[in-house]
Amino acid sequence: MPAPSSRDAPKFNPEKPSELIRFLSSMEDLFSAASITDDDKRKKDLCRYAPASCEHEWQAFNSYKTGTYAEFKAELIASYPEASHLTKGSLGRLKAVCADARGITSDDLSELLRLKRSFVAEATKLSEPPALLSNMEIIQLFAGCLSDEFRRQVASTLAIRAEAKRQSAINAQNQAERRVEDQHTWNEVIEAAVSIAETYQNPLGSIGRLSGSLGVSDNRERPRAQVDDFAPKMEESMARLADTLNLQLKQHVKLEEKVDRCMTMVISVGNLSVPFQLRKVVVIIVEDMGTE
């Protein structure tokens, strides 16, 4: 065991109580390395490595005097709410994580993975017995962080996987009953979302989608889930392109009509003097534009 004052020794700052869990974990690593299994020895060393003010406070715990190391550790964590919340999870923190991540699209893998790290850390603790949130409630919170299109893609992928599982269960004559609202675990939903986003990030996958849209086949069978994932996005892109082309066509036709009117006006005043002709044409064009 390193000396408590050494640079490599675990440290606990009472001004940052949320770091208590890390301090305890580091101390337990030292106990394991030094083969220290005696409860009293562990409790004593734990206090010895803490700041002097904490050492006296911790030694006053009932569990320090008569309890096991596990009981002392539990009482110690319970005395610091910030650390206790880290072990039990916090619904408020989970909702805050979701509030910071809204409208994530299927092509934003980095943002999705950032959400996954924070979301899973809280959801795992909140779903442990006694669970504070149901499986469906956790799924709804996660789905609320995704864009509408991304949610549809995830739902499509999960539906295909569920049907495949159902068919496999029927073939094996071992079909388990599951509630309609719990067809998938929240971990499965997150995994499906990450899988879709990773496909969008794959350069080869992008080439395959482009060649497919041009009618070029790569002679490989594509998973049905991948086709269903990209079809809605392709349809949306084609619809936007069609709208843009229609708008440009209308603007072009309108411009041609204006040119025709201007030419007619010029011809109609052809017998007038040039300066007066120009003034007359300008006046007529301005009046014509004002009536549109």
Residue 154, judged by CB atoms within 10 A of its CB (0-12, 13-18, 19+), counts as buried
Residues 6+ apart with CB under 8 A from 224: 160
Residue-wise pLDDT tens digits, 206-247: 444 444 444 444 444 444 445 455 555 556 656 666 666 666
User: Digits of tens for pLDDT over the chain (292 positions)?
Assistant: 888 888 889 998 888 888 898 999 999 999 999 999 999 999 999 999 999 989 999 999 999 999 999 999 999 988 888 777 776 777 888 899 999 999 999 999 999 999 999 999 889 888 888 788 889 999 999 999 999 999 999 999 988 888 877 777 666 665 555 555 567 899 999 999 999 999 887 655 544 444 444 444 444 444 444 545 555 555 665 666 666 666 666 665 666 666 566 666 655 655 545 455 555 555 555 555 555 5
Residue-wise pLDDT tens digits, 71-82: 999 999 888 887
C-alpha count within 13 angstroms, C-beta hemisphere, residue 238: 8
Nearest CA among 235, 147, 137, 136 for reference residue 196: 147
Q: Which two tokens stand for residue 64?
A: 């320090």
Cα separation, 106 vs 108, whole angstroms: 6
- Compute φ and ψ for 173, nearest 5 degrees: 55, 45
User: 104: which strand partners?
Assistant: 146
End-to-end CA distance of the chain: 88
Cα–Cα distance list, 256 to 251, 261, 288 (Å)? 9, 9, 14
Token look-up 């700052």 returns 13
Indicate the DSSP class of residue 113: H
pLDDT at 204: 55
Cα–Cα distance list, 177 to 123, 169, 174, 185, 220 (Å)? 25, 11, 10, 14, 36
What pTM was estimated for this model as a whole?
Answer: 0.51
Cα–Cα distance list, 124 to 90, 119, 134 (Å)? 11, 8, 11
